[in-house]
Amino acid sequence: MCGRLSIAVSKEDLTKYLEQNYDITVLPDSIELPKFNIAPSEELVTLINDGTKYRVGLLKWGFVPEYTKDESKILINARSETVDKLYTFKKSLIERRCLILADGFFEWSRSTGTKTPYRFVLKKTKVFALAGLWSSFINKQGKRVFTTTIITTKANSLMSEIHDRMPVILDQESAKIWLNPNLKDTDALKKILNPYDSNEMEIYQVSSKVNNPKNKNHEVIDEIKKST
């Protein structure tokens, strides 16, 4: 699964990434950066294609299908293997795909009997894109709420040391395919939902402070040097 993210970059760095890849030159004021420890129910920086242009904004992490409108049952992940088969996600797979922007994600090892947190990053690029789906519904207060989920796949060799699942990380070519609103072929879409090359990733241990989503400072992404 994937249950904690970071996008620990400045607004200037993110704007540069978006300008280079998606012709976006201005970030909405609602996007506050850096974010060191993002948990479910919080807002993720996301990207969509509205059919005319790419748009960046915020979506609440925790998918709520529009037909249920039940905010108490959020879905933070969707499995790539079944995303086209489940009624919950099928419409969004065809019509409401998004990218979730991050510079790292966290996972916990339980091999020692205690939960040890690790952070995963890419070697060659700071900001990267995760495959996501979005939906919207009207809540009890009459407000439209936009929600999202992260698609996961089987772990690569690096990730499998910690967990058997990982988020789907898309390279730039696959990200453009994923955001193409004219693409409705679910088989073609599923072909790009693969484990990322483990040789392009790095892992390091971080402080247990990341366990508490209230801890939002830089310390949660700092590397813990193992004693030898």
Neighbours of 208 (CB within 10 A): 15
Report which of 139, 132, 49 is spatially closest to residue 92, judged by C-alpha positions.
132
Distant-in-sequence, close-in-space partners of 112: CB < 8 Å, separation ≥ 6: none
Catalytic-labelled residue, pool 19, 107, 202, 219:
107
Residues pairing with 80 in the sheet:
none
Q: How many residues does the chain have?
A: 228
Helices (H), the chain: 11-22, 87-95, 172-179, 186-190
Does residue 2 have an active-site annotation?
yes
**203: β partners:** 120
* Residues classed as catalytic: 2, 107
